[in-house]
Structures are given as structure tokens and as C-alpha cells.
Amino acid sequence: MIRELLGVKLREARGALRSQHGRVRIPTFAVLSLIFAGLLYGAGEFVTTRAMEIDLVGELLVHKLLSITVLVFFALLLFSNVVSAFSTFYLAEDLKFLMSKPIPTDELFASRFVEVMVQSSWILALFGLPLFLAVGVQLNADWYFYPLLILVLIPFVAIPTALATIFALLVTNIIAANRTRDAALFFGLVAFTALFVMIRSFEPERLLNPDSFDSIGELMQLLTVPSLSYLPNDWVVNILTPLLFELDAPVFWSAMLLFTTPVALFFIAAWLHRPLYFRGYSNAQEGQHQGGLMVQVRNWMMEKTRRTGVKLSTRIENLRNRGGRGSDLRQMVRKDQAVFTRDASQWSQLLIVLAIIVIYLVNFKYFEVAADEALIGDAGLVFFNLAACAFVVVALCGRFLFPAVSVEGKSFWLVLQAPITLERFLLGKWLGSLLPVVLVGQFLIWSSNLLVGIDLVMSIISSVQVLIISLVASAMAVAMGAMYPQFHKPNAAKIASSFGAVIYMIVTIVGTLVLIALWFRVSVHLGDMASRPAGMYAWLAAVSGLVIAGGTIPVVFKLGAYFLDRQF
Amino acid sequence: MSEPQPISESPLVTVSGLRKQYGDFTAVDGIDLDVPPGQVFGVLGPNGAGKTTTMRMITGLIEPTSGTITIDGFDLEDDTVDAKKITGFIPDRPYVYEKLTAFEYLRFIGGLYHMRRAETADRIDELLTLFELREFSSSLIESFSHGMKQRLVFAGAMLPEPRLLVIDEPMVGLDPKGHHLVKRLFRQLVEQQEMSILLSTHTLEVAEEVCDQIVIINHGRIVARGTLGQLQLESGETDGNLEKVFLRLTKQSEEERHRDVARRFGDEPGEQAS
């Protein structure tokens, strides 16, 4: 049965390869991934070579960097497994079909477990393997390092899968009154905390200025990761380092823990699955539950936004008395706002926005040190802040605006058959999302500039630039979301991490950096930070930046509408 | 089947040479249609005949590979917005914005069609009553049953009082009371408001009861057209009901069936054999 359950997934994948979309997209994606993996291999090679060139501490540095890398991958695997466990065990479309079939519980569990593991572990295969291989090659590791590496990574990815599965089983039962989405909110909080703690503990800004370290010892101190013998990342490093550095260190305990833990966790998960799964699955299917703080908040919000207290006759009367004609743009904006605020699954994502803002501001304070030490200079600091702020805006647009067209889902027929053009539809999507994007961008640039004491003129110039970038990035996100629509995917977070979204991120980040570069000379001149006045070419560059930005918006809408139209 | 209306005016919908190709597969193969104003026009056909594709092309949801569609003189390709202004569409599955309330959904439709607010208000009032959705006007659509959603989609399509109503499988999800309501409504709309209704259906009883004219599509082509009487004559089932006529006109030989499978899924004899 497990073979059938997994086999159907493989056959589905083969079918996707044969489909019209798959024939183009999958090879493209594979080539891009290989290029990326190649670049990672190159980066791994470069860092290892440079580190080994440092006398005395080279090996130790490589060891530390390896530990950090494995720890980061463990954290990534944990997070992606949790998300994957929820969608595979509770929200997958095919469950409605499978649950009605006489499939033994344990076999369903085992097949789903493998699916979660494969789904969430490709990240390690694609991004981790090239790095580890590069280290092995650079340190002239013996041939058996490579098969052992694969052997070690298999239990390393199975542990987070088992932990995530157990977590999902418990959450859907213990917090039974809450919907699965509320659990997603919880994960948002956990991710926020983990991300924040990790970034702060590395203090990456100090690496910008190596002179700030009093000694190599302090540099090493910075690179110290929590070394706990009960963390699987530590077991992996303990097994790999003797092979890399030809040490004679004991690896027995680490190897035993690494190989037995996933097996034990798998059986615990399977054991818990028997009594807990169905209740959790049933809960996940239900639309409404009573109790639970988040549920109450959501219900309250819905009551407020749909104005249940007002009688239908009064609402009809109010509408009649308003006079004039209804506006398609206004109605589209209102519809999008209502759909967004009533969808609890979006709220956890808002917490991530909050997390990004807080991390940005907290970390930014440290760059002031770099500016003081004349490492990047005041103008450099302004430029850096602008670029970082633009990056956050682009990323937020990618998360919230790129899926805007796709989340219309199967309801998109309503728009297609209505008497509005697709350009106008995209315009409506854009207008509806502009205010929050502009507000976040402005909040970031003003607060970060105030934190480090950038003067008012320069702050205003930066603010205008971020405003223009916000307008362009949001238009790009909406329009490119229309070029790569995924109406069949119900989950906005998945759409935001799709192939099209990656293309959007790359294109828009490069585009905004070009804009900032074109405006740089003139803005430092206007802000009285330049050593010499801006020449004709600098002004020409700035004006062309404005023209490019202004021209991009209508052009991407036309392109977006054109490609969207071609889908049907 | 009701008495056909005299065709004196020019057709409201004119479809000529309509084709839709998906790779090597031709879903719709040169369809010509004239839908007169003030009539219920039925499109019948077996599964996979090309009915839904045709309906979706007429409502602008799918772009034809070739051919033209004009609605009240507006070319659907060149004057898309004008053509859509006078068209309402009801799909077979009622996918609507689940997080809106019924009232908000109807107001949204009013906005899309640039209707006067006073008119929108009056129509919402009227249609919520007609489709028995008044007491659910503030409820989120996600809490509606399939049939309630279908009734809401009917209300939405009728809100702007379109001259043409295109309906794909009108009876899916409706209970017997809904069936009765919809059938009566079709005749009323046609007779009292001169609306034209183009509907595709599998429910032959509906076609028999409400359609003025019928076309039967098979393999993407029209194989018969006319009133029930004309179809009976054409099929040789002069004393039969529409079901008999339909079965006779769409009957496939074993050889035709194999050809059809090969046309749709490619020439894989091993897999066709079953």
C-alpha cells in the first residue's frame, strides 16, 4: 500500500513533466537550480580556501563555519518540515479522497511521512550538498567522505520531519478548538523569535569591520554556535570533522544518536498518529470552532467588517441614498481588503512583516558604528539604508502582492466575464495594496534615518526615493503575479515562493538597485554630502531613473494583462 | 418544449467559424450559431463534446483559436467591454469569494458593471427575495451550501439585467424547489424582459421544457439544430422524446469512439484497447 501511495506521487510528478507547462518550466527551474548550486559550490570553495590560508586557526575557522552552516540548515529544515507536515497531513487536496478509502492508518502515516521528508528536504540537497562537497574537495577528504556524507544527511533530514510530524499531531489536538490556521500564527511567532535570536547572536554587522575585533579569539567567539550534544547538527559535525581533518576523535556516540533518534521518533510519531490523527484531520476540515483567543479575535473582526448589526433594509437604503454610479476600482479594492482581513491564515504572515521591521531597525543601529568608523562613510550609510529598505519593500511586495492575482483562484471567472479590462483589474489590485506598502516603506526609511541621525534634507530625499521604489515594486509584484498566475494554489505563501516569485524578486531587486545607483550622485549632492557638485551626466542619470521608474508601471501592467489574457 | 418565437429581429449572438484547439486536440471545430433575442437557446451534447468550451468562449473566459463572436453587434474580441456589459454568466460550479457576504458580493458585481447605486440597491433587494437569500445577506458565503451559492451566482448574473444570460449546466446543485424556480424564471425573463438565454445542459427535461431552439454538439461540431419537432424529424424519432432524439443523434460506432479517443489523447493503441 505504501508503494502505491508513494508511487502515485511519482506518477503525478512524471505527468507534470509531460504537461505543457512542465515541459518548459521544470527544465528551466532545474537549470537555474544547478547554476545556483554551482555558485554555492564556488562560494564554499572560496571561503574554505581563504579560511585555510589563515595560520593556526584555519582549520578551526572551517570547523566553526561548518557548524554554523549545519545549524542554519537544521533550523531551515525544522521550519519547512512543520509547514510541509501541516499541508501534507491535514490540508492536502487528495486527503478527501484517500480518507474515504480502506487504507490502513500506519501505511497512510508512513507514506505521508516520506512525502513530508522529501518535500521539505530538497533545500538541503540543493543548497547544502554543494557547500559540503566544496569543503570536502578543498580539504582533500578521502573518497569515503562523500558516501558517508550522504549517509549522515539522511537521518539528519529525518529528525526534523519526525519532530514536525509529532508537533503537528499534537497541535491539531491539544489546541483542538483552534483551527489549523491559528497554529500557523503560532509558527509565525516561533519563526520570528528563532530568526531574530539567530541573526542577533551572529552579529553579522561586526563582520563588516574586522578591525573592531580585538583579537582572533574574539572573532572566534563571534562564530561560536550553541554547541549542545543533544542537537542533531552537532552530531553531524562531530561525524564529519574527523573525516575532513583526519583527526582521531570518537564518533561512536554521535553516530549512534544520529541514526537511532530518527527511528525512535518515527515510531513515536506513528504511535501518536493512531489515536490523534483523525481528530486533528477532522478539526482541520471544519470551518468554525468556538473558543480559542485567535478564533474569538477573528470572529470579532468578521462581525465588525461585515456589519452584521446593520439591517439589510438599512444597508439597501444607505446604498440607494448614496446616489451616483458604483465604481469598479473601489469595489475591487474593498473586496480585496475584506478578503484579506477575514483570512486568518494571512495574519501570521503579518507577524513576519512585523518581525522583518523590528529586525531591520534593531540591526540598523549597528551600522551607525560602521559609519562612525569611516568604514562605509555617511553617504555609504544612506545608500546602504536605502538599498536595504528597498529590499524589504520588494520582499514584502513579493509576499503579499505577487499572489494577489493568483488568490482570486477559481473565482477569477467573475473578473474575466465582467465588463472590465485586465489592465483595469490589475490597476485595482495595485491601488488596493499601495497604502500599506507605502506606509511600511516610509516608516522604515524615516525611523532608520532618525535612529542614526541623518539630516532632514537627506531624509526627505531618501523618503521620496523609497516612495517611488514602493510604487514600482508593488506594480511589478502585481503585474508579474499576473504573468505567472497559479489559480489552482489556494495558499498565498506557496505562491510567494514559486518560480515566478523568484523571478520577480531577482528582476525587481536588480531594477531597484539600478534606480538607486542612477539617483545616487544627485541625491548626495542635494543632501550636501558630496565632495564635488553633480555634473550633467549625474543629472541625466537621475532623470533617466525617474523616467524608467515612471515608464515601468504602465508597461508592466500592459505586459501583465497580456500574459494573463494568454492563459485563457 | 415551448412554442418557438418568430425570428424577426437580427440575432443577439452570432458565432461564426468558432474553433478552439488545445495542442493537437480540437475541442470546438467550426461552430456557427445565431441566438435570436427573446429565446431560450439550448446547447446539448455528450460529455466532452465541446459545450462548456463554447459557452466559455462566448462569455470571454477562453480565447478562441479562430472564428468570431458578436454580441448585440459588438465583436467580443475588439469591443470586449461593451459585449460583456450586456452579458451575464452562470458557470456550472459556483466559485465565488467565500470571505464576502452575500450583500457584499452583489454590491461588488454592481460596481463591476458601473451600475447606478440606487439601481443596485433595488436589484439587490429584489433578487435576495427572489432567490430566498434575504436572511443570509450578512453571512459569509463560505457558510453557504452548494445550492445557496448557486442561487447567489444566479442573483449576481441577473443583477445588471443583462440582455444575454449564458448558463452552463443551470441545475447543478439546485434542489427540486430551485429547479422549479429556475425553469419558471427562464420563461419569465424571456417572455417579459425579452432576455436571451443560452444554456448548455445535460438535463434533457429542462431543455425539453424551456428551450425554444436546440443545437446538439458532438466532437466539437454541431450535428443537429432546430426546434424539438425539427430534431425529431431529423433523427427519425418522430414519436420519441428529447432523450431518444439525443441518443440517436449522438450515437457512436465503436470505430468512431476509437477515433475520438485517439484524437483527444494521442495515438496510444495499447492504452485505448481497454
pLDDT digits 0-9 by tens, A110-143 = 999 999 999 888 878 888 889 999 999 988 888 8
Q: Determine whether A194 is exposed, middle or buried from the number of CB atoms within 10 Å of its CB (0-12, 13-18, 19+).
A: middle
Write down the pLDDT at residue A123.
77
Write down the pLDDT at residue A482.
92
Q: What proportions of chain A, in percent to the nearest 5, are helix, strand and coil?
A: 80, 0, 20
- Hey, of B108, B129, B135, B168, which one would you mutate to test binding to chain A, going by the most A CBs within 10 A of its CB? B108
CB contact under 8 A, A419 and B81: yes
* Contact (CB, 8 A) for B253 and B246: no
CA distance B42 to B171: 13
Write down the pLDDT at residue B274.
33
The residues that bridge with B218 in the sheet, in sequence order, are: B221
Identify the DSSP state of A497.
Answer: T
B105-136: b or e for each residue (b if 16 or more CB lie within 10 Å)? bbbbbbbbbbbbbbbbbebbbebbeebebbeb
Task: Examine the pLDDT at A158 and tell me if it is beyond 90.
Answer: yes
CA distance B196 to A50: 77
B224 CA: distance to closest CA in chain A (Å) = 28
Task: Examine the pLDDT at A547 and tell me if it is beyond 90.
Answer: yes
Longest dimension (CA), chain A: 86
H-run or E-run covering A531: none
Write down the pLDDT at residue A175.
61
| Residue whose C-alpha cell is 551572529 | A202
Pairing of strands B196-200, B164-168: parallel
In this prediction, residues A22-51 reach a mean pLDDT of 82
The residues that bridge with B13 in the sheet, in sequence order, are: B35, B71
* Contact (CB, 8 A) for B43 and B217: yes
The residue with greater pLDDT, A493 or A517, is A517
- What percent of chain B is modeled with pLDDT above 70? 87
Write down the pLDDT at residue A345.
64
The angle subtended at Cα B202 by Cα B197 and Cα B207, nearest 5°, is 45
Write down the pLDDT at residue A264.
95
Chain B residue numbers with beta carbons less than 8 Å from the beta carbon of A322 are: 117
Q: Which of A319, A410, A419 sits opposite B117 (nearest CB)?
A: A319
Q: Any CB–CB contact under 8 A between A290 and chain B?
A: no
Q: Any CB–CB contact under 8 A between A342 and chain B?
A: yes
Longest dimension (CA), chain B: 63
Computed over every residue of chain A, the mean pLDDT equals: 80
Least confident of A55-69, A443-457, B78-92, B186-200: A55-69
Q: How big is the A-B interface in CB pairs under 8 Å?
A: 128
CA distance A334 to A331: 5
- What are the φ/ψ torsions at residue A521 (nearest 5 degrees)? -60, -45
Write down the pLDDT at residue A320.
86
- Hey, of A18, A304, A336, A414, which one would you mutate to test binding to chain B, going by the most B CBs within 10 A of its CB? A414
* Contact (CB, 8 A) for A428 and A488: no
pLDDT bin (cut points 50, 70, 90) of residue A183 is low
CATH code of domain B1-86+164-274: 3.40.50.300
B20 CA: distance to closest CA in chain A (Å) = 11
| Residue whose C-alpha cell is 461552430 | B31
State the cell numbers at A381: 550609510
CB contact under 8 A, B104 and A335: yes
- What percent of chain A is modeled with pLDDT above 90? 21
H-run or E-run covering A567: none
CA distance B232 to B226: 9
Write down the pLDDT at residue A552.
93
* Contact (CB, 8 A) for A83 and A491: no
Closest Cα partner for A188 from A72, A399, A353?
Answer: A353
Chain A residue numbers with beta carbons less than 8 Å from the beta carbon of B100 are: 335, 338-339
In this prediction, residues B129-138 reach a mean pLDDT of 89
Task: Examine the pLDDT at B203 and tell me if it is beyond 50.
Answer: yes
State the cell numbers at A113: 511521512
Three-state DSSP at B173 gives coil
- State ipTM: 0.78
- Hey, of A316, A339, A407, which one would you mutate to test binding to chain B, going by the most B CBs within 10 A of its CB? A316
Q: Which of B84, B120, B128 sits opposite A326 (nearest CB)?
A: B120
Q: Which of A302, A411, A565 sits opposite B140 (nearest CB)?
A: A302
Chain B residue numbers with beta carbons less than 8 Å from the beta carbon of A413 are: 61, 89, 91, 95
Chain A residue numbers with beta carbons less than 8 Å from the beta carbon of B121 are: 316-317, 319-320
Q: Which of A302, A411, A413 sits opposite B61 (nearest CB)?
A: A413
Window 418-457 of A: residues touching B by CB (8 A cutoff) are: 418-421
Closest Cα partner for B120 from A323, A290, A334, A413?
Answer: A323
For A98, how many CA atoms within 13 A lie in the half-sphere containing its CB?
25
The residues that bridge with A356 in the sheet, in sequence order, are: none
* End-to-end Cα, chain A, rounded Å: 39
- What percent of chain A is modeled with pLDDT above 70? 77
* Chain A nearest-CA residue for B24: A20
Read out DSSP for A429-492?
A: HHHHHHHHHHHHHHHHHHHHHHHTT--HHHHHHHHHHHHHHHHHHHHHHHHHHHHS--TT---H
* Contact (CB, 8 A) for A172 and A284: yes
Write down the pLDDT at residue A251.
76
pLDDT bin (cut points 50, 70, 90) of residue A22 is low
B83 CA: distance to closest CA in chain A (Å) = 8
- Hey, of B63, B117, B142, which one would you mutate to test binding to chain A, going by the most A CBs within 10 A of its CB? B117
* Chain A nearest-CA residue for B138: A308
Q: Any CB–CB contact under 8 A between A330 and chain B?
A: yes
Task: Examine the pLDDT at A292 and tell me if it is beyond 70.
Answer: no
CA distance A502 to A496: 8
Computed over every residue of chain B, the mean pLDDT equals: 83
- Hey, of B101, B109, B112, B161, which one would you mutate to test binding to chain A, going by the most A CBs within 10 A of its CB? B112
State the cell numbers at A452: 542614526
The residues that bridge with B21 in the sheet, in sequence order, are: B26
Distance of CA A272 to the CA centre of its chain: 30
Read out DSSP for A145-164?
A: HHHHHHHHHHHHHHHHHHHH
* Contact (CB, 8 A) for A512 and A433: no
Give how far Cα A353 sits from Cα of A76, A250, A500, Å: 18, 45, 21
Per residue in A300-335, pLDDT (tens digit) is 766 666 665 678 888 888 888 888 888 888 888 888
Identify the DSSP state of B140.
Answer: B
- What percent of chain B is modeled with pLDDT above 90? 26
Pairing of strands B74-75, B40-44: unpaired
A58 CA: distance to closest CA in chain B (Å) = 58
The residue with greater pLDDT, A296 or B204, is B204
| Residue whose C-alpha cell is 474553433 | B19
Closest Cα partner for A390 from A451, A437, A352?
Answer: A437
Q: Which of A306, A320, A410 sits opposite B117 (nearest CB)?
A: A320
Q: Which of B91, B118, B138 sits opposite A323 (nearest CB)?
A: B118
CB contact under 8 A, A416 and B125: no
CB contact under 8 A, A418 and B120: no
State the cell numbers at A499: 518560480
The residue with greater pLDDT, B173 or A188, is B173
* Chain A nearest-CA residue for B105: A335
CB contact under 8 A, B60 and A416: yes
CB contact under 8 A, A320 and B97: no
CA distance B185 to B127: 12
pLDDT bin (cut points 50, 70, 90) of residue A263 is very high
A269-284: b or e for each residue (b if 16 or more CB lie within 10 Å)? bbebbeebbeebbebb
B97 CA: distance to closest CA in chain A (Å) = 6
Residue B53 CB neighbour total at 10 angstroms? 21
* Chain A nearest-CA residue for B94: A411
| Cβ-Cβ contacts under 8 Å for A289 (sequence gap 6 or more) | A176, A177, A178, A179, A283, A295
CB contact under 8 A, A308 and B107: no
Pairing of strands B13-22, B25-35: antiparallel
CB contact under 8 A, A411 and B95: yes
In this prediction, residues B212-221 reach a mean pLDDT of 88
CB contact under 8 A, A410 and B23: no
* CA quadruple A206, A208, A214, A219: dihedral, nearest 10: 70
pLDDT bin (cut points 50, 70, 90) of residue A71 is confident
The residues that bridge with B44 in the sheet, in sequence order, are: B216
CB contact under 8 A, B23 and A339: no
CA distance A288 to B45: 41
* Chain A nearest-CA residue for B61: A416
Distance of CA A507 to the CA centre of its chain: 17
Per residue in B148-185, pLDDT (tens digit) is 998 999 999 999 999 999 998 877 777 888 888 888 88
Q: Which of A287, A343, A421 sits opposite B81 (nearest CB)?
A: A421
CA distance A547 to A565: 27
Read out DSSP for A378-422?
A: HHHHHHHHHHHHHHHHHHHHHHHTGGGTGGGGGGGHHHHHSSS-H
pLDDT bin (cut points 50, 70, 90) of residue B228 is confident
Ramachandran class of B251: left when φ > 0, alpha when ψ lies in -120 to 50, beta otherwise: beta
Task: Examine the pLDDT at B5 and tell me if it is beyond 90.
Answer: no
Task: Examine the pLDDT at A104 and tell me if it is beyond 70.
Answer: yes
In this prediction, residues B13-30 reach a mean pLDDT of 89
Walk across the sheet containing B40-44 and list its strands.
Answer: B87-90, B164-168, B196-200, B40-44, B213-218, B221-226
Residues of chain B with CATH 3.40.50.300: 1-86+164-274
Q: Determine whether A242 is exposed, middle or buried from the number of CB atoms within 10 Å of its CB (0-12, 13-18, 19+).
A: middle
The residue with greater pLDDT, A200 or B157, is B157
Q: Any CB–CB contact under 8 A between A35 and chain B?
A: no
CA distance A525 to A211: 30
CB contact under 8 A, B116 and A326: yes
Task: Examine the pLDDT at B214 and tell me if it is beyond 80.
Answer: yes
Q: Which amino acid is it at B23?
A: G
CA distance A476 to A482: 10
For A511, how many CA atoms within 13 A lie in the half-sphere containing its CB?
26
